[in-house]
């Protein structure tokens, strides 16, 4: 089966969880809504195109391998914005400040980010998928809209380097993807030791995998993978409507593989 595999890395990333009050929590690995939004932006989809977004949501399944969870960063965020006035829409930030200056109010929130987080994402499509994986690959290489990691303040800090891979399950697709170094080096200009990736961006010894579908979609009972070690999780990150900003629950599986224990065995 074919898979589209790409790398996500940024100085900061925010994978939104359920927002309660002034708290804006982030998970430590990419959400379904973030990946669908990333693909939609690459394709140039507008937020009001619900049918296209629903096709991306329902006909493509994803798996994530967390290379580095990163470090948690909290930001106490303040912003001024006017409240809504009937059917009037503020089209620009200038409209909010100038036209709505008499209705300005301060919005307070605590937002979470993850610093230097890196993950590999694998996508597969079913028969109802509107875009072939090669089309998604081309869109990620030449996106129509800006791509970011959960929030507009979190741009990509490295190329996605999307590849189409033939594999027997998500695990094989993720493991067969060669993650390129973040810093370019050559024999003439080697990277100094103090700048080496292993020093400032070490990979977690505990590899964590998350995927949609069934346990059998990930891998067979081979290569250290055991169904008895799999957990089932529920996450509230499946887009229901981009326009109304509504999401629904989604089931996914999690498997953790300790590389150190595997070496000792």
The domain ranges of the chain are 2-70+116-180+202-264
Query: What's residue 16's pLDDT?
Result: 86
Q: Which helix (H) or strand (E) holds 240?
A: strand 231-241
Query: What's residue 118's pLDDT?
Result: 94
State phi, psi for 179 to the nearest 5 degrees: -75, 120
Whether the pLDDT of residue 21 is over 90: the answer is no
Q: Which helix (H) or strand (E) holds 40?
A: helix 32-43
- Determine what percent of the chain is predicted with pLDDT higher than 70: 95
How far is Cα 71 from Cα 28, in angstroms, rounded to an integer? 9
Q: How confident is the model at residue 65 (pLDDT cuts 50, 70, 90)?
A: very high
Mean pLDDT along residues 59-63? 97
In the numeric block, which tokens belong to residue 121? Answer: 């994402």
- Determine what percent of the chain is predicted with pLDDT higher than 90: 60
Query: What's residue 263's pLDDT?
Result: 44
State phi, psi for 51 to the nearest 5 degrees: -60, -45
Helices (H), 18-88: 32-43, 50-59
Q: What is the pLDDT of residues 177-208, one digit of tens each?
A: 999 988 877 778 787 777 777 777 777 778 89
Whether the pLDDT of residue 36 is over 50: the answer is yes
Reference 43, options 119, 142, 112, 118; nearest CA is: 142
Q: What is the DSSP letter of 76?
A: E
Look-up of token digits 């290569």: 223
Domain 2-70+116-180+202-264 has CATH 3.30.70.2660: yes
How far is Cα 114 from Cα 204, in angstroms, rounded to an integer? 14
More confident residue, 265 or 169: 169
Is the entire prediction scored with pTM above 0.95?
A: no
Q: How confident is the model at residue 86 (pLDDT cuts 50, 70, 90)?
A: low
Report the relative pairing of strands 246-258 and 26-27 from DSSP bridges. unpaired
Query: What's residue 223's pLDDT?
Result: 60
How far is Cα 56 from Cα 31, in angstroms, rounded to an integer? 14
State phi, psi for 148 to the nearest 5 degrees: -150, 165
Please give the mean pLDDT across all residues of the chain.
Answer: 88
Look-up of token digits 């989604």: 250
Q: What residues contact residue 12 under an 8 Å CB cut-off, 6+ apart?
A: 73, 113, 114, 115, 149, 153, 154
Whether the pLDDT of residue 144 is over 60: the answer is yes
Tell me whether residue 178 is exposed, middle or buried, using C-beta atoms within 10 angstroms of its C-beta: 0 to 12, 13 to 18, 19 or more. exposed
More confident residue, 113 or 207: 113
Query: What's residue 259's pLDDT?
Result: 57
Residues 216, 172 contacting (CB under 8 angstroms): no
How far is Cα 123 from Cα 127, in angstroms, rounded to an integer? 14
In the numeric block, which tokens belong to residue 164? Answer: 């189409």
């Amino acid at each position: 089966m074919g898979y589209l595999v790409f790398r996500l890395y940024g100085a900061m990333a925010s994978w939104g969880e359920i927002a309660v009050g002034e708290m804006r929590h982030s998970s430590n690995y990419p959400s379904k809504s973030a990946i669908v939004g990333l693909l939609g932006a690459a394709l140039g989809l507008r937020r009001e195109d619900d049918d296209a977004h629903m096709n991306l949501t329902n006909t493509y399944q994803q798996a994530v391998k967390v290379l580095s969870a990163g470090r948690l960063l909290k930001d106490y965020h303040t912003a001024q914005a006017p409240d809504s006035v009937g059917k009037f829409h503020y089209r620009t930030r200038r409209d909010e400040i100038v036209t709505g200056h008499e209705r300005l109010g301060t919005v307070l929130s605590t937002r979470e980010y993850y610093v230097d987080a890196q993950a590999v994402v694998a996508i597969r499509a079913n028969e109802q998928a509107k875009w072939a994986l090669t089309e998604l690959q081309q869109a990620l290489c030449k996106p129509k809209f800006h791509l970011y990691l959960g929030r507009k303040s979190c741009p990509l800090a490295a190329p996605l380097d999307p590849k189409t891979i033939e594999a027997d399950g998500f695990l094989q697709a993720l493991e067969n993807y060669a993650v390129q170094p973040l810093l370019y080096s050559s024999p003439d200009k080697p990277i100094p030791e103090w700048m080496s990736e292993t020093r400032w961006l070490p990979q977690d010894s505990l590899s964590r995998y998350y995927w949609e579908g069934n346990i059998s979609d990930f891998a067979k009972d081979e290569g250290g993978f055991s169904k008895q070690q799999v957990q089932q999780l529920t996450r509230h990150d499946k887009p229901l409507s981009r326009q109304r900003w509504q999401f629904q629950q989604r089931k996914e599986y999690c498997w953790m593989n300790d590389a150190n224990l595997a070496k000792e065995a």
